[in-house]
Amino acid sequence: MGRPGYPGEFRRRVLDLLAQGRSVASVAHDLDVSEQTIYNWRRQDRIDRGIEAGLTTAEKGELAAARKRISELETELAVARRAVDVLKEQADPKGAVRRSK
């Protein structure tokens, strides 16, 4: 899970202040948010609106979900492979299964 951040409504209000002509520095100072954070939000907003190239917020979410699912599947596959290896170790060459003690 990602680290907690600012609520979407707060980000939207910051972007609205910028649209009204306020400078990034003054908004950052007044709201105690780093300037770089505001620049990042503004850039992402431009990407989401199609003004700049890049991954949209929705695409980033889909990508994160896909990566998480891939990681889960890789873990499941590793467990299944290990189970097969354990079963192979217990079988003798003639096909009979040895009993564990």
Taking CA atoms, 48 is separated from 29, 34, 42, 51, 95, in Å, by 26, 21, 10, 8, 60
Q: How confident is the model at residue 1 (pLDDT cuts 50, 70, 90)?
A: very low
Cα separation, 56 vs 74, in Å, equals: 27
The model's pLDDT over 19-48, given as tens digits with 9 standing for 90+, comes to: 999 999 999 999 999 999 999 999 999 999
Domains and CATH numbers, the chain: 1-54 (1.10.10), 60-101 (no CATH)
Q: What sign has the CA pseudo-torsion 87, 92, 97, 101?
A: negative
The model's pLDDT over 51-93, given as tens digits with 9 standing for 90+, comes to: 999 999 999 999 999 999 999 999 999 999 999 999 988 886 6
